[in-house]
Structure 1
Protein backbone atom coordinates (compact mmCIF):
# COMPACT_ATOMS: atom_id res chain seq x y z
CA UNK A 1 0.00 0.00 0.00
CA UNK A 2 1.67 3.19 -1.16
CA UNK A 3 1.27 6.52 0.59
CA UNK A 4 1.54 9.65 -1.48
CA UNK A 5 3.90 12.42 -0.45
CA UNK A 6 2.32 14.59 2.22
CA UNK A 7 -0.30 16.95 0.82
CA UNK A 8 0.29 19.51 3.51
CA UNK A 9 2.50 19.85 6.54
CA UNK A 10 1.97 22.94 8.64
CA UNK A 11 2.03 24.15 12.22
CA UNK A 12 -1.54 24.92 13.16
CA UNK A 13 -2.60 26.89 16.20
CA UNK A 14 -5.11 25.08 18.42
CA UNK A 15 -6.51 27.59 20.89
CA UNK A 16 -8.42 26.93 24.11
CA UNK A 17 -7.42 23.27 24.28
CA UNK A 18 -4.38 23.32 26.57
CA UNK A 19 -4.33 23.33 30.36
CA UNK A 20 -2.83 26.42 31.98
CA UNK A 21 0.40 26.26 33.91
CA UNK A 22 -0.77 28.48 36.76
CA UNK A 23 -2.83 27.90 39.90
CA UNK A 24 -4.75 31.07 39.11
CA UNK A 25 -7.96 30.08 37.35
CA UNK A 26 -8.17 33.54 35.82
CA UNK A 27 -4.83 33.19 34.09
CA UNK A 28 -5.15 32.74 30.32
CA UNK A 29 -4.03 29.42 28.92
CA UNK A 30 -1.18 29.41 26.48
CA UNK A 31 -2.28 28.43 22.98
CA UNK A 32 -0.63 25.24 21.81
CA UNK A 33 0.46 24.30 18.31
CA UNK A 34 0.44 20.97 16.55
CA UNK A 35 1.78 19.73 13.25
CA UNK A 36 -0.83 18.12 11.01
CA UNK A 37 0.28 16.10 7.98
CA UNK A 38 -2.08 14.37 5.56
CA UNK A 39 -1.27 11.65 3.04
CA UNK A 40 -3.51 9.72 0.67
CA UNK A 41 -3.87 5.99 0.02
CA UNK A 42 -6.49 3.67 -1.44
CA UNK A 43 -7.92 0.19 -1.56
CA UNK A 44 -8.05 -0.44 -5.34
CA UNK A 45 -10.93 -1.25 -7.65
CA UNK A 46 -10.95 -3.18 -10.91
CA UNK A 47 -11.83 -1.81 -14.36
CA UNK A 48 -10.18 1.59 -13.99
CA UNK A 49 -6.71 2.75 -15.04
CA UNK A 50 -6.76 5.96 -12.98
CA UNK A 51 -8.90 7.55 -10.25
CA UNK A 52 -7.80 11.19 -10.08
CA UNK A 53 -9.06 13.28 -7.17
CA UNK A 54 -8.37 17.04 -7.01
CA UNK A 55 -7.84 18.49 -3.53
CA UNK A 56 -8.60 22.20 -3.37
CA UNK A 57 -8.33 22.68 0.40
CA UNK A 58 -8.32 20.90 3.76
CA UNK A 59 -10.45 22.31 6.58
CA UNK A 60 -10.09 21.43 10.26
CA UNK A 61 -13.05 22.29 12.49
CA UNK A 62 -12.45 22.70 16.21
CA UNK A 63 -15.25 21.14 18.22
CA UNK A 64 -14.99 23.35 21.31
CA UNK A 65 -14.77 26.79 19.72
CA UNK A 66 -16.26 26.09 16.30
CA UNK A 67 -13.45 27.83 14.45
CA UNK A 68 -12.40 26.52 11.06
CA UNK A 69 -8.76 26.32 9.98
CA UNK A 70 -8.40 25.95 6.21
CA UNK A 71 -5.29 25.10 4.20
CA UNK A 72 -5.14 25.44 0.43
CA UNK A 73 -3.53 22.41 -1.22
CA UNK A 74 -1.50 23.28 -4.30
CA UNK A 75 0.93 21.59 -6.65
CA UNK A 76 4.54 21.99 -5.50
CA UNK A 77 5.66 23.42 -8.86
CA UNK A 78 2.59 25.58 -9.55
CA UNK A 79 0.73 27.17 -6.65
CA UNK A 80 -2.14 28.16 -8.95
CA UNK A 81 -3.14 24.51 -9.43
CA UNK A 82 -4.95 22.42 -6.80
CA UNK A 83 -3.25 19.20 -5.78
CA UNK A 84 -4.30 16.20 -7.92
CA UNK A 85 -3.75 12.60 -6.81
CA UNK A 86 -4.21 9.45 -8.86
CA UNK A 87 -5.43 7.07 -6.17
CA UNK A 88 -4.47 4.02 -8.20
CA UNK A 89 -0.86 5.12 -7.99
CA UNK A 90 -1.05 4.74 -4.22
CA UNK A 91 -2.42 0.64 -3.08
CA UNK A 92 -17.38 16.85 -21.05
CA UNK A 93 -16.53 17.47 -24.47
CA UNK A 94 -15.89 21.21 -23.96
CA UNK A 95 -14.25 20.95 -20.57
CA UNK A 96 -10.77 19.65 -19.86
CA UNK A 97 -11.66 16.86 -17.42
CA UNK A 98 -7.99 16.21 -16.75
CA UNK A 99 -7.95 19.43 -14.68
CA UNK A 100 -10.72 18.22 -12.38
CA UNK A 101 -11.51 15.00 -10.50
CA UNK A 102 -12.04 12.18 -12.99
CA UNK A 103 -11.60 8.48 -13.69
CA UNK A 104 -9.85 6.87 -16.64
CA UNK A 105 -11.13 3.52 -17.89
CA UNK A 106 -8.89 0.77 -19.21
CA UNK A 107 -9.75 1.80 -22.80
CA UNK A 108 -8.57 5.36 -22.14
CA UNK A 109 -12.02 6.99 -21.98
CA UNK A 110 -12.63 9.58 -19.22
CA UNK A 111 -15.60 10.31 -16.98
CA UNK A 112 -16.07 13.09 -14.40
CA UNK A 113 -15.73 12.08 -10.74
CA UNK A 114 -18.19 13.88 -8.48
CA UNK A 115 -18.34 13.85 -4.69
CA UNK A 116 -22.02 13.88 -3.89
CA UNK A 117 -23.66 13.56 -0.51
CA UNK A 118 -27.29 12.83 0.30
CA UNK A 119 -29.71 15.54 -0.79
CA UNK A 120 -27.05 17.17 -3.01
CA UNK A 121 -25.87 19.04 0.07
CA UNK A 122 -22.20 19.92 0.05
CA UNK A 123 -21.31 18.74 -3.44
CA UNK A 124 -17.57 18.43 -3.68
CA UNK A 125 -17.01 18.07 0.06
CA UNK A 126 -15.86 14.99 1.95
CA UNK A 127 -16.80 15.45 5.59
CA UNK A 128 -15.16 13.05 8.04
CA UNK A 129 -15.92 12.09 11.63
CA UNK A 130 -14.10 13.83 14.47
CA UNK A 131 -10.56 12.99 15.54
CA UNK A 132 -8.10 14.06 18.20
CA UNK A 133 -5.23 16.34 17.25
CA UNK A 134 -2.32 15.71 19.60
CA UNK A 135 0.17 18.34 20.74
CA UNK A 136 2.90 16.85 18.57
CA UNK A 137 3.29 15.57 15.05
CA UNK A 138 0.07 14.13 13.64
CA UNK A 139 0.48 11.97 10.53
CA UNK A 140 -2.91 11.11 9.10
CA UNK A 141 -3.84 9.16 5.99
CA UNK A 142 -7.02 9.65 4.01
CA UNK A 143 -7.90 6.08 3.00
CA UNK A 144 -10.21 5.68 -0.01
CA UNK A 145 -11.94 2.29 -0.13
CA UNK A 146 -12.83 2.48 -3.82
CA UNK A 147 -14.88 -0.71 -3.79
CA UNK A 148 -17.22 0.90 -1.26
CA UNK A 149 -17.10 4.50 -2.45
CA UNK A 150 -17.18 4.50 -6.27
CA UNK A 151 -20.66 4.37 -7.82
CA UNK A 152 -21.49 4.25 -11.55
CA UNK A 153 -25.14 5.38 -11.88
CA UNK A 154 -26.91 3.97 -14.91
CA UNK A 155 -28.64 7.28 -15.67
CA UNK A 156 -25.60 9.56 -15.48
CA UNK A 157 -22.35 10.17 -17.35
CA UNK A 158 -20.64 10.97 -14.04
CA UNK A 159 -19.02 8.62 -11.53
CA UNK A 160 -19.96 9.35 -7.92
CA UNK A 161 -17.60 9.16 -4.97
CA UNK A 162 -19.50 8.35 -1.76
CA UNK A 163 -17.84 10.02 1.26
CA UNK A 164 -18.77 7.08 3.52
CA UNK A 165 -16.20 5.01 1.67
CA UNK A 166 -13.44 7.34 2.88
CA UNK A 167 -11.88 7.13 6.34
CA UNK A 168 -9.23 9.10 8.22
CA UNK A 169 -6.59 7.12 10.10
CA UNK A 170 -3.66 8.19 12.28
CA UNK A 171 -0.47 6.35 11.32
CA UNK A 172 0.63 6.35 14.94
CA UNK A 173 -2.52 4.48 15.96
CA UNK A 174 -3.02 1.97 13.16
CA UNK A 175 -1.50 -1.23 11.80
CA UNK A 176 -1.66 -3.31 8.61
CA UNK A 177 -3.35 -6.66 8.01
CA UNK A 178 -1.76 -8.68 5.25
CA UNK A 179 -1.70 -12.29 4.21
CA UNK A 180 -2.40 -14.94 1.60
CA UNK A 181 -5.27 -17.00 0.22
CA UNK A 182 -4.37 -20.53 -0.88
CA UNK A 183 -4.92 -21.77 -4.43
CA UNK A 184 -7.02 -24.61 -3.08
CA UNK A 185 -9.39 -22.31 -1.21
CA UNK A 186 -9.81 -20.08 -4.26
CA UNK A 187 -10.58 -23.13 -6.43
CA UNK A 188 -13.06 -24.48 -3.89
CA UNK A 189 -14.85 -21.14 -3.59
CA UNK A 190 -15.24 -20.82 -7.34
CA UNK A 191 -16.50 -24.42 -7.65
CA UNK A 192 -19.01 -24.04 -4.83
CA UNK A 193 -20.26 -20.71 -6.19
CA UNK A 194 -20.24 -21.46 -9.91
CA UNK A 195 -23.77 -20.07 -10.21
CA UNK A 196 -22.43 -16.65 -9.18
CA UNK A 197 -19.74 -16.48 -11.87
CA UNK A 198 -19.67 -13.46 -14.17
CA UNK A 199 -20.83 -13.81 -17.77
CA UNK A 200 -17.29 -14.64 -18.86
CA UNK A 201 -16.95 -17.23 -16.09
CA UNK A 202 -14.66 -15.11 -13.94
CA UNK A 203 -14.76 -14.29 -10.21
CA UNK A 204 -13.51 -11.38 -8.11
CA UNK A 205 -11.70 -12.35 -4.91
CA UNK A 206 -11.58 -9.98 -1.93
CA UNK A 207 -11.25 -9.69 1.84
CA UNK A 208 -13.87 -7.90 3.97
CA UNK A 209 -13.17 -6.59 7.48
CA UNK A 210 -16.01 -6.46 10.04
CA UNK A 211 -16.43 -5.53 13.68
CA UNK A 212 -16.03 -8.50 16.01
CA UNK A 213 -19.63 -8.30 17.23
CA UNK A 214 -21.27 -8.53 13.79
CA UNK A 215 -23.44 -11.67 13.75
CA UNK A 216 -24.63 -11.48 10.14
CA UNK A 217 -22.06 -9.66 7.97
CA UNK A 218 -23.49 -7.70 5.05
CA UNK A 219 -22.19 -6.64 1.65
CA UNK A 220 -21.08 -3.06 0.92
CA UNK A 221 -24.59 -1.75 0.16
CA UNK A 222 -25.52 1.25 2.32
CA UNK A 223 -29.16 2.19 2.70
CA UNK A 224 -28.34 5.46 4.44
CA UNK A 225 -25.57 7.55 2.88
CA UNK A 226 -25.07 9.47 6.12
CA UNK A 227 -24.41 6.43 8.31
CA UNK A 228 -22.65 3.15 7.63
CA UNK A 229 -24.73 0.13 8.77
CA UNK A 230 -23.26 -1.60 11.80
CA UNK A 231 -23.13 -4.93 9.93
CA UNK A 232 -21.39 -3.50 6.85
CA UNK A 233 -17.66 -4.05 6.21
CA UNK A 234 -15.28 -1.52 7.73
CA UNK A 235 -12.76 -1.98 4.91
CA UNK A 236 -12.12 -4.19 1.88
CA UNK A 237 -9.09 -5.39 -0.05
CA UNK A 238 -8.65 -7.20 -3.37
CA UNK A 239 -6.86 -10.52 -3.53
CA UNK A 240 -4.05 -10.16 -6.08
CA UNK A 241 -1.74 -12.81 -7.54
CA UNK A 242 1.93 -12.04 -6.94
CA UNK A 243 3.92 -13.66 -9.75
CA UNK A 244 7.22 -13.30 -7.89
CA UNK A 245 5.98 -15.06 -4.76
CA UNK A 246 3.66 -17.30 -6.80
CA UNK A 247 0.76 -16.79 -4.40
CA UNK A 248 -2.45 -14.83 -3.88
CA UNK A 249 -1.98 -11.92 -1.48
CA UNK A 250 -3.98 -9.12 0.15
CA UNK A 251 -3.38 -6.11 2.36
CA UNK A 252 -5.65 -3.97 4.52
CA UNK A 253 -3.85 -0.84 5.65
CA UNK A 254 -4.36 1.61 8.53
CA UNK A 255 -6.49 -0.53 10.82
CA UNK A 256 -7.04 0.57 14.43
CA UNK A 257 -6.00 -2.07 17.01
CA UNK A 258 -8.88 -4.18 18.25
CA UNK A 259 -10.91 -7.34 17.63
CA UNK A 260 -12.40 -7.97 14.18
CA UNK A 261 -13.73 -10.58 11.80
CA UNK A 262 -11.91 -11.05 8.49
CA UNK A 263 -13.80 -12.73 5.66
CA UNK A 264 -12.77 -14.08 2.25
CA UNK A 265 -15.15 -14.11 -0.73
CA UNK A 266 -14.91 -14.94 -4.42
CA UNK A 267 -18.18 -13.11 -5.11
CA UNK A 268 -16.93 -9.52 -4.89
CA UNK A 269 -17.87 -8.96 -8.56
CA UNK A 270 -21.58 -9.04 -7.71
CA UNK A 271 -21.25 -6.68 -4.74
CA UNK A 272 -22.65 -3.28 -5.74
CA UNK A 273 -22.61 -0.30 -3.36
CA UNK A 274 -26.00 0.81 -4.72
CA UNK A 275 -27.80 -2.54 -4.73
CA UNK A 276 -28.57 -5.05 -1.99
CA UNK A 277 -26.99 -8.23 -3.35
CA UNK A 278 -28.98 -11.08 -1.84
CA UNK A 279 -26.79 -13.68 -3.57
CA UNK A 280 -23.56 -12.25 -2.14
CA UNK A 281 -21.82 -14.72 0.13
CA UNK A 282 -18.72 -14.94 2.32
CA UNK A 283 -16.79 -18.18 1.92
CA UNK A 284 -14.57 -18.19 5.01
CA UNK A 285 -14.70 -15.99 8.11
CA UNK A 286 -12.21 -15.94 10.96
CA UNK A 287 -11.80 -13.84 14.13
CA UNK A 288 -8.63 -11.77 14.32
CA UNK A 289 -7.03 -9.33 16.75
CA UNK A 290 -4.94 -6.36 15.65
CA UNK A 291 -2.37 -5.44 18.30
CA UNK A 292 -0.80 -2.00 18.67
CA UNK A 293 2.75 -1.95 17.37
CA UNK A 294 2.45 -5.09 15.25
CA UNK A 295 1.22 -5.75 11.73
CA UNK A 296 -0.92 -8.87 11.48
CA UNK A 297 -0.33 -11.74 9.04
CA UNK A 298 -3.33 -13.93 8.18
CA UNK A 299 -3.55 -17.06 6.03
CA UNK A 300 -6.76 -18.28 4.43
CA UNK A 301 -6.60 -21.93 3.39
CA UNK A 302 -8.75 -25.06 3.18
CA UNK A 303 -9.81 -26.19 6.65
CA UNK A 304 -8.13 -29.39 7.75
Structure 2
Protein backbone atom coordinates (compact mmCIF):
# COMPACT_ATOMS: atom_id res chain seq x y z
CA UNK A 1 0.00 0.00 0.00
CA UNK A 2 1.30 3.40 -0.92
CA UNK A 3 0.80 6.00 1.80
CA UNK A 4 1.76 9.65 1.95
CA UNK A 5 1.90 10.98 5.50
CA UNK A 6 0.94 14.58 6.03
CA UNK A 7 0.68 16.99 8.91
CA UNK A 8 -0.97 15.75 12.12
CA UNK A 9 -4.39 16.91 10.99
CA UNK A 10 -7.74 15.27 10.85
CA UNK A 11 -9.59 14.61 7.63
CA UNK A 12 -12.64 12.44 7.42
CA UNK A 13 -15.73 11.81 5.50
CA UNK A 14 -18.99 13.39 5.04
CA UNK A 15 -22.13 13.49 3.59
CA UNK A 16 -23.89 12.08 1.07
CA UNK A 17 -24.38 9.11 -1.14
CA UNK A 18 -22.30 6.03 -0.41
CA UNK A 19 -21.12 5.51 3.14
CA UNK A 20 -20.25 2.40 5.10
CA UNK A 21 -19.03 3.35 8.58
CA UNK A 22 -17.20 0.56 10.32
CA UNK A 23 -15.92 0.22 13.85
CA UNK A 24 -12.36 -0.86 14.58
CA UNK A 25 -11.65 -3.78 16.87
CA UNK A 26 -11.07 -3.06 20.51
CA UNK A 27 -7.57 -3.10 21.84
CA UNK A 28 -8.87 -3.66 25.37
CA UNK A 29 -7.11 -2.38 28.47
CA UNK A 30 -9.57 -0.02 30.18
CA UNK A 31 -8.28 3.16 28.57
CA UNK A 32 -10.67 6.05 28.03
CA UNK A 33 -8.93 7.07 24.80
CA UNK A 34 -8.07 5.49 21.47
CA UNK A 35 -6.31 6.60 18.31
CA UNK A 36 -7.68 7.35 14.88
CA UNK A 37 -5.97 7.23 11.49
CA UNK A 38 -7.91 8.61 8.54
CA UNK A 39 -6.66 8.70 4.97
CA UNK A 40 -8.22 9.67 1.67
CA UNK A 41 -8.20 7.87 -1.66
CA UNK A 42 -10.01 8.42 -4.96
CA UNK A 43 -12.00 6.68 -7.66
CA UNK A 44 -11.05 8.95 -10.58
CA UNK A 45 -13.01 10.82 -13.19
CA UNK A 46 -12.09 10.82 -16.89
CA UNK A 47 -10.62 13.88 -18.65
CA UNK A 48 -9.68 15.74 -15.46
CA UNK A 49 -5.98 16.53 -15.00
CA UNK A 50 -6.25 17.68 -11.37
CA UNK A 51 -9.01 17.66 -8.79
CA UNK A 52 -7.77 19.66 -5.80
CA UNK A 53 -9.86 19.91 -2.62
CA UNK A 54 -8.76 22.07 0.31
CA UNK A 55 -9.53 20.94 3.87
CA UNK A 56 -9.23 23.23 6.91
CA UNK A 57 -10.65 21.27 9.82
CA UNK A 58 -12.90 18.54 11.18
CA UNK A 59 -15.46 18.31 13.95
CA UNK A 60 -16.24 14.98 15.62
CA UNK A 61 -19.36 14.39 17.72
CA UNK A 62 -19.11 11.73 20.44
CA UNK A 63 -22.38 10.03 21.30
CA UNK A 64 -21.94 11.41 24.83
CA UNK A 65 -20.40 14.84 25.14
CA UNK A 66 -19.91 18.02 23.15
CA UNK A 67 -18.40 18.17 19.66
CA UNK A 68 -14.62 17.97 19.44
CA UNK A 69 -13.21 20.62 17.10
CA UNK A 70 -10.02 20.13 15.07
CA UNK A 71 -8.77 23.15 13.15
CA UNK A 72 -5.71 22.75 10.93
CA UNK A 73 -2.85 25.18 11.44
CA UNK A 74 -2.69 25.52 7.67
CA UNK A 75 -5.32 24.58 5.12
CA UNK A 76 -4.44 21.36 3.34
CA UNK A 77 -4.86 21.06 -0.44
CA UNK A 78 -4.98 17.51 -1.82
CA UNK A 79 -5.02 16.52 -5.49
CA UNK A 80 -7.35 13.53 -5.32
CA UNK A 81 -6.29 12.28 -8.75
CA UNK A 82 -2.90 11.28 -7.32
CA UNK A 83 -4.64 8.86 -4.93
CA UNK A 84 -6.11 6.15 -7.13
CA UNK A 85 -6.25 2.41 -6.49
CA UNK A 86 -4.59 1.49 -3.20
CA UNK A 87 -2.72 4.82 -2.89
CA UNK A 88 -3.92 7.03 -0.07
CA UNK A 89 -2.84 10.12 1.82
CA UNK A 90 -3.06 10.28 5.58
CA UNK A 91 -4.72 13.35 6.97
CA UNK A 92 -4.86 12.02 10.50
CA UNK A 93 -2.16 9.66 11.75
CA UNK A 94 -2.72 8.01 15.12
CA UNK A 95 -4.28 11.05 16.81
CA UNK A 96 -5.54 10.40 20.36
CA UNK A 97 -9.26 11.01 20.86
CA UNK A 98 -11.86 9.95 23.45
CA UNK A 99 -12.80 6.31 23.00
CA UNK A 100 -16.33 5.18 22.33
CA UNK A 101 -19.10 5.64 19.79
CA UNK A 102 -19.39 8.75 17.65
CA UNK A 103 -22.51 10.06 15.95
CA UNK A 104 -20.98 12.03 13.11
CA UNK A 105 -17.98 13.78 11.60
CA UNK A 106 -18.03 17.10 9.78
CA UNK A 107 -15.26 17.80 7.29
CA UNK A 108 -14.63 21.50 6.76
CA UNK A 109 -13.56 22.46 3.25
CA UNK A 110 -12.58 25.62 1.46
CA UNK A 111 -14.60 25.32 -1.73
CA UNK A 112 -16.49 28.53 -2.47
CA UNK A 113 -18.09 29.35 -5.78
CA UNK A 114 -15.99 31.62 -7.98
CA UNK A 115 -12.86 31.08 -5.86
CA UNK A 116 -10.08 28.66 -6.78
CA UNK A 117 -9.33 27.47 -3.25
CA UNK A 118 -10.53 24.10 -4.55
CA UNK A 119 -10.40 23.55 -8.29
CA UNK A 120 -10.48 21.15 -11.22
CA UNK A 121 -8.15 21.32 -14.22
CA UNK A 122 -9.62 20.20 -17.55
CA UNK A 123 -7.81 20.42 -20.90
CA UNK A 124 -5.19 22.72 -19.37
CA UNK A 125 -7.75 25.17 -17.96
CA UNK A 126 -8.44 25.64 -14.25
CA UNK A 127 -12.04 25.91 -13.05
CA UNK A 128 -13.34 26.68 -9.58
CA UNK A 129 -14.69 23.60 -7.80
CA UNK A 130 -17.27 24.40 -5.16
CA UNK A 131 -19.34 22.46 -2.68
CA UNK A 132 -22.88 23.84 -2.35
CA UNK A 133 -23.20 25.17 1.25
CA UNK A 134 -19.78 23.68 1.96
CA UNK A 135 -18.29 26.91 3.27
CA UNK A 136 -21.08 27.26 5.85
CA UNK A 137 -21.86 23.70 6.87
CA UNK A 138 -18.97 21.58 5.65
CA UNK A 139 -19.57 17.97 4.69
CA UNK A 140 -21.28 15.94 7.35
CA UNK A 141 -21.25 12.19 7.89
CA UNK A 142 -24.27 11.29 9.99
CA UNK A 143 -23.52 7.57 10.19
CA UNK A 144 -21.84 6.41 13.39
CA UNK A 145 -18.43 4.88 13.99
CA UNK A 146 -16.45 3.70 17.01
CA UNK A 147 -12.99 4.45 18.37
CA UNK A 148 -11.91 1.42 20.46
CA UNK A 149 -10.60 1.99 23.98
CA UNK A 150 -6.84 1.47 24.01
CA UNK A 151 -6.86 0.56 20.32
CA UNK A 152 -6.75 2.20 16.92
CA UNK A 153 -9.40 2.84 14.30
CA UNK A 154 -7.86 3.10 10.82
CA UNK A 155 -10.18 4.34 8.09
CA UNK A 156 -9.89 5.25 4.43
CA UNK A 157 -12.32 7.69 2.83
CA UNK A 158 -12.91 7.08 -0.87
CA UNK A 159 -13.95 10.14 -2.88
CA UNK A 160 -15.71 8.67 -5.92
CA UNK A 161 -15.11 11.53 -8.33
CA UNK A 162 -17.01 9.85 -11.14
CA UNK A 163 -20.15 10.35 -9.06
CA UNK A 164 -19.10 13.54 -7.29
CA UNK A 165 -17.91 16.01 -9.95
CA UNK A 166 -20.67 17.68 -11.93
CA UNK A 167 -20.21 19.82 -15.00
CA UNK A 168 -22.44 22.90 -15.18
CA UNK A 169 -24.87 23.35 -18.03
CA UNK A 170 -23.96 27.02 -18.37
CA UNK A 171 -20.21 26.49 -18.57
CA UNK A 172 -19.61 28.03 -15.13
CA UNK A 173 -17.87 26.60 -12.09
CA UNK A 174 -17.83 22.84 -11.55
CA UNK A 175 -19.39 21.61 -8.33
CA UNK A 176 -18.63 18.72 -6.01
CA UNK A 177 -21.52 16.73 -4.59
CA UNK A 178 -19.45 14.21 -2.66
CA UNK A 179 -20.12 10.49 -3.03
CA UNK A 180 -17.99 8.96 -0.30
CA UNK A 181 -17.25 5.58 1.23
CA UNK A 182 -15.75 5.24 4.69
CA UNK A 183 -14.15 1.83 5.15
CA UNK A 184 -12.33 0.15 7.99
CA UNK A 185 -8.91 -0.86 6.63
CA UNK A 186 -8.87 -3.99 8.79
CA UNK A 187 -11.74 -5.44 6.76
CA UNK A 188 -10.80 -4.44 3.20
CA UNK A 189 -8.96 -5.82 0.20
CA UNK A 190 -8.17 -4.56 -3.29
CA UNK A 191 -8.98 -5.54 -6.88
CA UNK A 192 -6.59 -5.24 -9.82
CA UNK A 193 -6.25 -6.62 -13.30
CA UNK A 194 -5.36 -6.27 -16.96
CA UNK A 195 -7.49 -5.28 -19.92
CA UNK A 196 -5.60 -6.63 -22.91
CA UNK A 197 -4.97 -4.45 -25.94
CA UNK A 198 -6.71 -6.87 -28.29
CA UNK A 199 -9.78 -6.90 -26.02
CA UNK A 200 -9.96 -3.10 -26.24
CA UNK A 201 -9.46 -3.16 -30.02
CA UNK A 202 -12.20 -5.77 -30.42
CA UNK A 203 -14.66 -4.15 -27.98
CA UNK A 204 -14.24 -0.39 -28.38
CA UNK A 205 -14.66 2.01 -31.28
CA UNK A 206 -11.98 4.18 -29.67
CA UNK A 207 -9.77 3.88 -26.58
CA UNK A 208 -10.14 7.63 -25.98
CA UNK A 209 -13.69 7.70 -24.61
CA UNK A 210 -12.82 6.55 -21.10
CA UNK A 211 -11.81 2.94 -20.46
CA UNK A 212 -12.94 1.90 -16.99
CA UNK A 213 -13.98 -0.99 -14.79
CA UNK A 214 -17.13 -0.58 -12.69
CA UNK A 215 -17.48 -2.53 -9.42
CA UNK A 216 -20.90 -3.45 -7.98
CA UNK A 217 -21.72 -4.92 -4.59
CA UNK A 218 -23.04 -8.48 -4.75
CA UNK A 219 -22.88 -11.35 -7.22
CA UNK A 220 -24.73 -11.62 -10.50
CA UNK A 221 -25.55 -7.91 -10.69
CA UNK A 222 -26.81 -6.63 -14.03
CA UNK A 223 -24.54 -3.59 -14.41
CA UNK A 224 -25.89 -0.11 -15.05
CA UNK A 225 -24.40 3.35 -15.53
CA UNK A 226 -23.75 5.89 -12.78
CA UNK A 227 -27.06 7.71 -12.29
CA UNK A 228 -27.87 7.65 -8.58
CA UNK A 229 -30.26 4.70 -8.81
CA UNK A 230 -29.63 1.04 -8.10
CA UNK A 231 -27.56 -0.72 -9.16
CA UNK A 232 -24.98 2.03 -8.95
CA UNK A 233 -21.34 0.90 -8.81
CA UNK A 234 -19.66 0.98 -5.42
CA UNK A 235 -16.56 2.36 -7.11
CA UNK A 236 -14.82 2.44 -10.47
CA UNK A 237 -11.25 2.34 -11.79
CA UNK A 238 -9.72 3.79 -14.92
CA UNK A 239 -7.86 1.39 -17.22
CA UNK A 240 -4.52 3.02 -18.05
CA UNK A 241 -2.30 1.84 -20.89
CA UNK A 242 1.15 0.46 -20.11
CA UNK A 243 3.89 1.60 -22.46
CA UNK A 244 5.86 -1.65 -22.45
CA UNK A 245 3.01 -4.07 -23.27
CA UNK A 246 0.26 -1.90 -24.76
CA UNK A 247 -2.21 -3.54 -22.38
CA UNK A 248 -4.25 -1.58 -19.84
CA UNK A 249 -4.10 -1.89 -16.04
CA UNK A 250 -6.73 -0.99 -13.46
CA UNK A 251 -6.90 -1.05 -9.67
CA UNK A 252 -9.85 -0.51 -7.34
CA UNK A 253 -8.85 -0.12 -3.71
CA UNK A 254 -10.37 -0.43 -0.24
CA UNK A 255 -13.29 -2.75 -0.92
CA UNK A 256 -14.99 -4.37 2.06
CA UNK A 257 -14.52 -8.14 2.03
CA UNK A 258 -17.26 -9.90 0.07
CA UNK A 259 -18.52 -10.70 -3.41
CA UNK A 260 -18.70 -8.11 -6.18
CA UNK A 261 -19.65 -7.91 -9.84
CA UNK A 262 -17.22 -6.21 -12.22
CA UNK A 263 -17.85 -4.96 -15.75
CA UNK A 264 -15.85 -3.05 -18.37
CA UNK A 265 -16.90 0.02 -20.34
CA UNK A 266 -15.36 1.78 -23.33
CA UNK A 267 -17.19 5.07 -22.82
CA UNK A 268 -16.99 6.07 -19.16
CA UNK A 269 -16.23 9.64 -20.19
CA UNK A 270 -19.82 10.00 -21.44
CA UNK A 271 -21.38 8.64 -18.24
CA UNK A 272 -23.20 11.62 -16.68
CA UNK A 273 -23.87 10.94 -12.96
CA UNK A 274 -27.07 13.01 -13.15
CA UNK A 275 -28.58 11.16 -16.12
CA UNK A 276 -29.53 7.63 -17.18
CA UNK A 277 -27.04 7.15 -20.01
CA UNK A 278 -26.72 4.42 -22.59
CA UNK A 279 -23.40 3.17 -21.25
CA UNK A 280 -22.35 -0.25 -22.53
CA UNK A 281 -21.03 -2.40 -19.67
CA UNK A 282 -19.34 -5.50 -20.98
CA UNK A 283 -18.59 -9.00 -19.69
CA UNK A 284 -19.84 -8.81 -16.10
CA UNK A 285 -18.21 -11.35 -13.79
CA UNK A 286 -18.12 -12.15 -10.08
CA UNK A 287 -15.02 -11.57 -7.98
CA UNK A 288 -14.34 -12.33 -4.32
CA UNK A 289 -12.54 -9.76 -2.15
CA UNK A 290 -10.65 -11.07 0.88
CA UNK A 291 -9.35 -9.01 3.79
CA UNK A 292 -5.75 -7.91 3.31
CA UNK A 293 -5.41 -9.38 -0.18
CA UNK A 294 -5.58 -8.16 -3.79
CA UNK A 295 -7.95 -10.12 -6.03
CA UNK A 296 -7.26 -10.29 -9.77
CA UNK A 297 -9.67 -10.18 -12.68
CA UNK A 298 -8.60 -9.70 -16.30
CA UNK A 299 -10.63 -8.71 -19.35
CA UNK A 300 -9.22 -10.61 -22.31
CA UNK A 301 -10.30 -12.40 -25.48
Tell me whether the two structures share a fold, i.e. TM-score over 0.5. Answer: yes
Q: 3-state SS of the aligned residue for 2:202?
A: helix
Does the alignment pair 1:288 with 2:287?
yes
Does the alignment pair 1:146 with 2:187?
no
Partner of 1:218: 224
Whether contact under 8 Å (1:6, 1:37) holds in the other structure is: no
Q: Name the TM-score, length of structure 2 as normaliser.
A: 0.75
Distance 1:168 1:115, change over 3 A: same
Partner of 1:5: 5
Any unmatched runs of 5+ in structure 1? 11-17, 22-29, 74-78, 223-228
Q: Name the TM-score, length of structure 1 as normaliser.
A: 0.74
Distance 1:206 1:128, change over 3 A: farther
Partner of 2:148: 134
Whether contact under 8 Å (1:262, 1:288) holds in the other structure is: yes
Alignment RMSD (CA, Å): 2.9
Distance 1:127 1:301, change over 3 A: same
Does the alignment pair 1:162 with 2:155?
no
More strand by share: 2
Does the alignment pair 1:114 with 2:130?
yes
Distance in 2 separating the partners of 1:106 and 1:169: 33
* Structure having greater relative contact order (Cα 8 Å, sep ≥ 6): 2
Distance in 2 separating the partners of 1:166 and 1:51: 15
Does the alignment pair 1:72 with 2:66?
no
TM superposition shift of 1:9: 6.0
Map 1:75-90 → 2, pairs under 5 A: 79=73, 81-90=74-83
Q: 3-state SS of the aligned residue for 2:214?
A: strand
Distance in 2 separating the partners of 1:286 and 1:212: 11
Does the alignment pair 1:104 with 2:121?
yes
Partner of 2:194: 180
Does the alignment pair 1:264 with 2:280?
no
Any unmatched runs of 5+ in structure 2? 11-25, 85-112
Distance in 2 separating the partners of 1:154 and 1:244: 40
